[in-house]
Amino acid sequence: MKRRPHKIVSVVLLVVLIAGMGMACRIQSLESRNKRWAENTETAGKILTESGKKEAQKQTDGTENDAAAQNAKRVFGDEPAELYARSAVLMDADSGRVLFGKDADVVRPMASTTKIMTCILALEYLREHPDQTIEVSDQAASQPKVHLGMQKGEVFYIKDLLYSLMLESHNDAAVMIAETIGGSVEEFASLMNEKAAAIGCTDTHFVTPNGLDASDAGGDHHTTAADLARIMRYCVWISPKAAQFLAVTQTRSYTFWDLEKKNMFNCYNHNALLDQMDGAVSGKTGFTAKAGYCYTGALERDGKRLIVSLLACGWPSHKNYKWADAAKLLNYGLESYMYRDVLDHSWNPGQIEVADGVYDGMLQVKSSARLTLTSPALDPARSLPALLKETEIPEKDIFLPELLKAPVKKGEKVGSVTYSIDGILLAEYPVYAAETIEKIDYGWCMEKVAERLFCHSSV
C-alpha cells in the first residue's frame, strides 16, 4: 500500500486545529465564569478588586507617618492575607489575646464606634440612677446628622436614649448623655479616657462622646484596632452591666417618647452582622469622612468568644466592605482556632532546700531540710483550656527559689507556675509548702547531740 504523507499531515493539522479551538472555548468559558464569580462576590468581600485598592489608596486621614503608611499591608498570622480595612484585629475575648492583627496598633480615628464607651459608661451610671432624665441643651440640639432631631427643652430618660445612641447612632443623644453624666462633654471625655486606661488601652484618646472628629490638648480623637477590641470585650463580657449592653445592642427596634408624650421616636438596629452570622451578639458601626467606615462586633459560637474591630475599612461607595472583613476574620477564628487543655499534668514541683531547717536523721556538719511542695495545678481534675492553633504551644514558667530559710509553715506560698502565650497570661498557679519545717534551735541541737552520743555508746 502506498503511503500518502500529505494526507497524514493534513489529518494531524486538523486534529491540532480542533483541539486548539476546544482549548480556546474552554479558556473563554473559564474567563467568563471567573468574571461572573468576581462580580457576584465583590460585595461579599471574597476578593479585593482593583477599584477597592484605588479607593483605599486615594483616602488619607493626614495622621499617619511614612512608617505607618509603609506598614499598611503588614499582617501577622497565616490567614486572611487580604482585608479592605487598613487596621484590623481578631481577638479571643476569653483571654484578651490578639489572634490576628493588621496594623493593630496604628493610631486612627474611630467614628461612631466611640459610642460603645459612651453606652457602657451610661449603663454603669444607671445602676445608681435608673430613672435619670435629661433636658435637651443647645449643644445637644445643634449636633449634625445622624441625629434624633430633639428640640431644646425636651426631656428624655437616659435609658431610652441608649437605643437612639446604639441602634441609630444619633450624635445628639451622645452629647445629652455626656452632659448629664459628666457635667459637660469635656468632663465626660475625661471619664471615657479614665475607663479606657482601666480597661488596658494603650493608645486611645477620647475627645467627643459621639466619635465626631475633634482635637483637644491631649491630641486627636483616636484609638487603635487593638484598643477598640479591648473596649468591646469589656462592654460585652467584663463590665458589671455587660448583660444590659447586650440587651440594648441586640434589640432590633425600639420606640419611645419624650417625657411629656408629645413626640414619638422609632429606632432600628443597623448591625447587619446580627443577621449575617450565627452567634453574632453585638456590634457598632461608624463613619466619618476622616475615619472611613469602622466597625467592632462580637460573636459567640462553638464555645468560642471572638471580637473583631475594623478601622478605615473603605470609603463611599464601599459601605459593605466592613461586613465582608468582619465575616472573613470571624470565620478565620472559628475555623483555625480550637480549645485545648494546655495544663501540664506531668509536672511536679518536687522538693526545695530549706536552710537552717530541722531535718530527720543524725546531726551532720553540713545538712539542710528538704521541703515537699504542692500546687493546685497538680489536681488531676483541673484543666486549662486555651484557644489555640493546632501548632501553638503555650509557655510554662516556673518561679521557685533555689533556697528557702526556715521556718516555713505548711500552706505558705513559696512560688508559682504560669502559662502564657504571645505575652498574654493564661493562668497562674501558686506553689505551696506541703509541710511545716521549723528553724533549728538550741534545744533541737542538744537533742541531736544526745541521739548521736547514745548511738556511739551503744556501739
User: CA 369 to CA 166: how far, in whole Å?
Assistant: 64
Give me the amino acid identity at 40.
N
Q: What are 115's strand-pairing partners?
A: none
Check residue 185 and report its DSSP letter. H
What are the backbone dihedrals phi and psi of residue 415, each rounded to the nearest 5 degrees, phi first?
A: 180, -165
Is 95 in contact with 386 (CB distance < 8 Å)?
yes
Q: List the grid coordinates of 201.
A: 488601652
Is 407 in contact with 438 (CB distance < 8 Å)?
yes
Q: Which residues contact 63 (CB under 8 A, 6 or more apart)?
A: 107, 108, 109, 220, 222
Tell me, yes or no, if 383 is annotated catalytic: no
Give me the amino acid identity at 82.
E
Per-residue pLDDT at 36: 37
User: CA 336 to CA 331: how far, in whole Å?
Assistant: 8
Q: Which residues contact 240 (CB under 8 A, 6 or more apart)?
A: 124, 127
Tell me, yes or no, if 169 is annotated catalytic: yes
Q: Helix, strand or coil for residue 234?
A: helix
Residue whose C-alpha cell reads 468582619 in the numeric block: 326
Q: Would you write out the chain's pLDDT as a tens digit for each of its 459 residues?
A: 444 444 433 433 343 334 444 444 344 443 443 443 344 334 333 333 333 333 344 444 444 444 343 333 334 445 677 899 999 999 999 999 999 999 999 999 999 999 999 999 999 999 999 999 999 999 999 999 899 999 999 999 999 999 999 999 999 999 999 999 999 999 999 999 999 999 999 999 999 999 999 999 999 999 999 999 999 999 999 999 999 999 999 999 999 999 999 999 999 999 999 999 999 999 999 999 999 999 999 999 999 999 999 999 999 999 999 999 999 999 999 999 999 999 999 999 999 999 988 877 555 655 678 999 999 999 999 999 999 999 999 999 999 999 999 999 999 999 999 999 999 999 999 999 999 998 877 776 777 666 666 665 555
Beta strands in 104-178 (DSSP E): 133-135, 155-157
Per-residue pLDDT at 356: 85
Tell me, yes or no, if 420 is annotated catalytic: no
Residue whose C-alpha cell reads 463613619 in the numeric block: 287
Q: pTM of the predicted model, to two decimals? A: 0.78
- Out of 115, 159, 195, 322, which one is annotated catalytic? 115
User: CA 224 to CA 169: how far, in whole Å?
Assistant: 20
- Out of 87, 95, 112, 239, which one is annotated catalytic? 112
Is 311 in contact with 88 (CB distance < 8 Å)?
yes
CA-closest candidate to residue 245, choices 125, 130, 116, 95: 116
Q: Pairing between strand 403-405 and 351-355?
A: parallel
- Out of 87, 95, 169, 309, which one is annotated catalytic? 169
